[in-house]
């Protein structure tokens, strides 16, 4: 389904596939052409003034950037200090004008509230970077299938987006800015619709999965194993979104804790956190026989098996789950690549999967596992993962894989770049996805 632009708001755009105007979809036309202005009569030239010449001889101000990308950035900068108000107004408009869409969202909006609006703004900031925009939105369009999103829902979202920006960005708003946002949203929605349509031909919107195993490792960490109702293809290092029957339409990210298995079972390491709806349900309520839903696999923290470089893997807390999956994946491919794992936790008791990792080390001579605790006893590395990694190496020829709390990942990325590992060889899940996974 095409998402048209508005010809009256700045002419044709590359995303206009139908020729229809967007004014009807967004509620009104972005603006009419400016009326003709009569040129004033040229005044008589004044007498020559040397001072005026000296004054004009200084540097002239640079012309203002009026490109679509610049207009989008100015709007973003204006609404950033009041993002909460803009987000609230966006959803208010959406549900007021299209109440039927409320059923697509969870009953409690406090954790979901920022996600859709933030995704739209994030996409708009990359409007002039086709490759990045397409990659980001293709993943987003496929993932939104599990919410029940249909092509006919996109105009309503666009209408609410334009309405919120019109109200809260008065300084940067106008016909040109509106035309830029209409064009950007047209491109955004079309990429997402195309991605969802293509994905529909080869995969379901979600999988039903029965809980077949539930093992408590600590008082707040459980290993949950499920059996999908149909084949679930994924790669080691990726993650899935999970929805429980106790919190409908609330989805959270969890990494696969193993490489693909011959029996088709999937395992996740889940830590219950305060006020974490999904995590507490999976740890304290889920039992064998319960059925959850899985969204499609996602994530690019996967191993390039055509390379020979060593792997430096940093896993903090339950972030050891995808690291374990990567180790199993390397072992399955039978290539003797050096793999160094730093497994971090706050206390020694929090290293809930250290026995599994040490058994893997005993089975594979190319694997080294080093436990790290913030306040560790004698014999263990301490002070945090980035600090521990500095004691070994060099690492500049390694590919790095990071999984854990957002703060750990930020510090580790900075530290690894400082040690000489190029940024493009450092892989981790996005920080936004990690934040969502904590509840």
Quote the pTM value.
Answer: 0.74
Could you read off the pLDDT of 100-146 as tens digits, one per residue?
A: 999 888 776 665 666 778 888 888 878 888 888 898 899 889 989 99
How much is the CA Rg of the chain, to the nearest whole Å? 27
Per-residue model confidence (pLDDT) at position 41: 42
Per the CB < 8 A criterion, the answer to whether 253 and 439 are in contact is no
Q: Token digits for 232?
A: 């679930």
Could you read off the pLDDT of 327-344 as tens digits, one per residue?
A: 999 999 987 899 999 999
- Asked whether the predicted pLDDT for residue 352 surpasses 60, the reply is yes
Q: Alpha-carbon dihedral of residues 85, 169, 144, 256, nearest 10 degrees?
A: -70
- What are the CA-CA distances from residue 146 to residues 24, 153, 233, 342 (Å)? 28, 14, 16, 35
Per-residue model confidence (pLDDT) at position 44: 45
E-assigned strand segments in 217-337: 221-228, 239-243, 251-255, 266-271, 291-294, 311-316
Strand order in the sheet with 239-243: 251-255, 239-243, 291-294, 207-216, 221-228, 266-271
Give the C-alpha separation, 240 to 266, whole Å. 10
- DSSP code, position 60: P
| Residues 178-199, mean pLDDT to the nearest whole number | 94
E-assigned strand segments in 73-218: 207-216
Per-residue model confidence (pLDDT) at position 58: 53
- What are the CA-CA distances from residue 223 to residues 219, 243, 296, 342 (Å)? 12, 16, 20, 20
Could you read off the pLDDT of 264-320 as tens digits, one per residue?
A: 999 999 999 998 999 999 999 999 999 999 999 998 899 999 998 999 999 999 999
Sequence-distant (6+) residues with CB within 8 A of 424 are none
Per-residue model confidence (pLDDT) at position 216: 97
Per-residue model confidence (pLDDT) at position 393: 80
- DSSP code, position 49: -
| Residues 174-187, mean pLDDT to the nearest whole number | 94
At residue 163 the predicted structure's pLDDT band, cuts being 50, 70 and 90, is very high
Question: Cβ atoms within 10 A of the Cβ of 10, count?
Answer: 18
| Residues 44-50, mean pLDDT to the nearest whole number | 42
Which of the two residues, 19 and 100, has the higher pLDDT score? Answer: 100
């Amino acid at each position: 389904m095409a998402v048209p632009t508005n010809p009256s708001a700045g002419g044709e755009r590359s995303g206009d596939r139908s020729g229809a105007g967007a004014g009807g979809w967004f509620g009104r036309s972005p603006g009419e052409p400016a009326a003709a202005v009569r040129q004033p009569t040229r005044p008589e030239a004044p007498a020559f003034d040397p001072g005026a010449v000296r004054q004009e001889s200084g540097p002239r101000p640079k012309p203002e950037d009026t490109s679509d990308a610049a207009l989008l950035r100015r709007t973003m900068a204006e609404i950033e200090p009041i993002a909460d108000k803009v987000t609230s107004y966006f959803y208010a408009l959406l549900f007021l004008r299209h109440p039927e869409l409320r059923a697509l969202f969870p009953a409690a909006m406090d954790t979901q509230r920022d996600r859709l609006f933030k995704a739209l703004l994030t996409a708009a900031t990359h409007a002039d970077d086709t490759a990045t925009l397409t990659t980001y939105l293709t993943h987003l369009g496929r993932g939104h299938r599990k919410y029940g999103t249909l092509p006919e829902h996109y105009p309503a979202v666009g209408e609410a987006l334009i309405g919120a920006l019109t109200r809260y960005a008065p300084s940067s708003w106008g016909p040109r800015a509106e035309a830029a946002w209409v064009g950007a949203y047209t491109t955004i929605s079309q990429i997402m619709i195309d991605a969802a349509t293509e994905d529909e031909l080869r995969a379901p919107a979600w999988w039903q999965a029965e809980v077949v195993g539930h093992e408590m490792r600590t008082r707040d960490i459980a290993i949950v194993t499920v059996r999908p109702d149909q084949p679930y293809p994924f790669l080691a290092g990726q993650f899935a979104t999970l929805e429980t029957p106790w919190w409908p339409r609330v989805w959270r990210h969890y990494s696969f804790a193993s490489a693909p298995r011959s029996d088709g079972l999937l395992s996740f390491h889940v830590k219950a956190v305060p006020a974490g709806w999904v995590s507490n349900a999976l740890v304290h309520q889920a039992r064998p026989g319960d059925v959850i839903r899985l969204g499609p696999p996602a994530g690019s923290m996967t191993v390039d098996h055509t390379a020979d470089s060593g792997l430096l893997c940093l896993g903090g807390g339950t972030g050891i789950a995808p690291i374990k999956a990567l180790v199993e994946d390397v072992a399955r491919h039978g290539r003797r690549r050096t793999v160094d794992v730093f497994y971090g936790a706050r206390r020694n008791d929090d290293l809930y999967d250290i026995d599994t990792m040490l058994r893997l080390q005993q089975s594979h001579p190319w694997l080294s596992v080093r436990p790290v605790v913030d306040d560790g006893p004698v014999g263990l590395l301490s002070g945090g993962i980035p600090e521990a990694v500095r004691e070994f190496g060099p690492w500049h020829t390694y590919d790095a894989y990071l999984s854990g709390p957002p703060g750990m990942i930020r510090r580790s990325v900075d530290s690894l770049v400082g040690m000489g590992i190029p940024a493009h060889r450092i892989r981790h899940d996005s920080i936004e996805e990690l934040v969502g996974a904590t509840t």
